[in-house]
Structure 1
């Protein structure tokens, strides 16, 4: 028999074994699915939270203030450099007279009228390509070294705080995921161990007939992988139900802030990764359990 045929027979045996105990298999899959849905849902909610905060808070900008004595030629040179910088998404020149007019319209007209002249410099409002704090710091250092630039002001403090909070949340969820992954391996280990003890007599007979440990172990490995895969599908269903339940309250909250926001569901790649990981964890638990049992049975 070919290698593929042997695995097909082992897969069929594992599926038949799971089907022979439907309630126990379902309960084990539910435990795996709930344990997997917790970190997966946490990461999904963190991604949605970061996207929501980014949309409601607006895009961060960089303000470049020119020297008071800088002429229009110097401003044109800065505009040319900004247009040629691949890290800049857009730039807008704000003449000093326009800036003073905007300041007066904001309610400070009486104060401005008492000034002897216009104290405001020409400025540029720059929109970078991205919201990475490292990108903002690099651009600030670049802009500060240009001629006739007096000051560069970043609007990225809230971005740094947001990234720090989201990173803390992700690290916490990843730690939880590691602990739950260990629990999944233990659950599968114990399930396969009980199955091995139940089939002890069959295993001894198979060995007497010349079956190798690899042949004996193969169906149990498939059983662990299938058990994990079933738990992964349950976790996917739980995530879908959670998103459906939260979509309407989240949309109402976003509308109260004048924003349009919907929760994003996991894409096909994320679902495939989740199923692959949980199947691998089930396989690992089954492998550890089968190896230990067969070694003790020698």
Structure 2
């Protein structure tokens, strides 16, 4: 175990020396990787923020459960007990028929309702599910529609379905872009390592004459590609952070026009770690392919 750690530590030091020996090339490579990865990274972050903004503007989706006109207090209490026992509900509130009528009158329909002799509105429960999954809304509505004394269940999930569909399309496009750019970055690292192998071919030949094994020779190149990719991931994080800072004020002003309080958020530590790890993996992958391709003929 100690020998394994020593060999990898030696390889890391060797790779760092190679990176520091050519600062301009290292910087340019990191910029290429970082700018390329900032596009899908920023796009995915933008989608998450758009979803949060849309929910803040449109409000929380709800389910309206209307009772039969002849439902009495006992039936209402039984339905309320069922709602309390439903784990998928975050909250609910009862709206009596008299309260619903007053809300309609306050909304400017008093003249229309003034000619009615009886209140035509039923008692209702307004439900707020714990999640905004459209499939959950439909399952709950189907189950509740079969409850006794429930006349109708109305879903407020049409905009949720549209939002989920748009976000799904956006995430698919971002993942496709990430795949294409990732493939391009593997090619960039492939060529970089190829040039490293060509410039060190005499050193590699001498190492082999001294008894160095192929894993020993390959290990510094793997770390070189991984560290170069990780540096590009850090550049990508910085680019995304600068973009968030630049767009924060305009996005906040746009949200205020819709009466929403919203602040554009940057990537959390998990997203930041994922970006750096993905960039390091791309660098390692390009290095591994290049080493296996060119070291055998060196």
Q: CA RMSD in A?
A: 1.2
Q: Which residue of 1 aligns with 2:171?
A: 170
TM-superposition CA deviations, 1:201-236 (whole Å, max 9, x none): 111121122211111111111110110011111111
Q: Which residue of 2 aligns with 1:39?
A: 40
Q: Tell me how far apart the structure 1 counterparts of residues 245 and 116 of structure 2 sit (CA, whole Å).
A: 58
TM-superposition CA deviations, 1:3-37 (whole Å, max 9, x none): 21111111111111111111111101100001111
Matched, 1:61 2:62: yes
Q: Tell me how far apart the structure 1 counterparts of residues 80 and 281 of structure 2 sit (CA, whole Å).
A: 54
Q: Which residue of 1 aligns with 2:99?
A: 98
Q: Which residue of 2 aligns with 1:14?
A: 15
TM-superposition CA deviations, 1:33-84 (whole Å, max 9, x none): 0111110111001001101110111011111111112112111111111122
User: Secondary structure of the equivalent of 1:92?
Assistant: strand
Q: Tell me how far apart the structure 1 counterparts of residues 263 and 105 of structure 2 sit (CA, whole Å).
A: 39
Shift of 1:115: 2.2
Matched, 1:193 2:194: yes
User: Secondary structure of the equivalent of 1:2?
Assistant: helix
Range with greater deviation from structure 2 (232-241 or 252-261)? 252-261
Q: Which residue of 1 aligns with 2:4?
A: 3
Shift of 1:105: 2.2
Q: Which residue of 1 aligns with 2:281?
A: 280
Q: Which residue of 1 aligns with 2:230?
A: 229
User: Secondary structure of the equivalent of 1:136?
Assistant: helix
Matched, 1:213 2:214: yes
Q: Tell me how far apart the structure 2 counterparts of residues 16 and 105 of structure 1 sit (CA, whole Å).
A: 75
Shift of 1:121: 1.2
Range with greater deviation from structure 2 (36-45 or 93-102)? 93-102
Within a 5 Å distance, the mapping from 1:54-133 to structure 2 comes to: 54-133=55-134
Q: Tell me how far apart the structure 1 counterparts of residues 25 and 216 of structure 2 sit (CA, whole Å).
A: 25
Q: Tell me how far apart the structure 2 counterparts of residues 106 and 3 of structure 1 sit (CA, whole Å).
A: 75
Q: Which residue of 2 aligns with 1:26?
A: 27
User: Secondary structure of the equivalent of 1:14?
Assistant: helix
Range with greater deviation from structure 2 (107-116 or 196-205)? 107-116
TM-score by length of 1: 0.96
Within a 5 Å distance, the mapping from 1:131-146 to structure 2 comes to: 131-146=132-147
Displacement over 3 Å in runs of 4+:
none
TM-score by length of 2: 0.96
TM-superposition CA deviations, 1:105-150 (whole Å, max 9, x none): 2222222222232221111111111111111111101210100101
Q: Which residue of 1 aligns with 2:294?
A: 293
How many matched pairs?
297
Range with greater deviation from structure 2 (142-151 or 254-263)? 254-263
Matched, 1:147 2:155: no
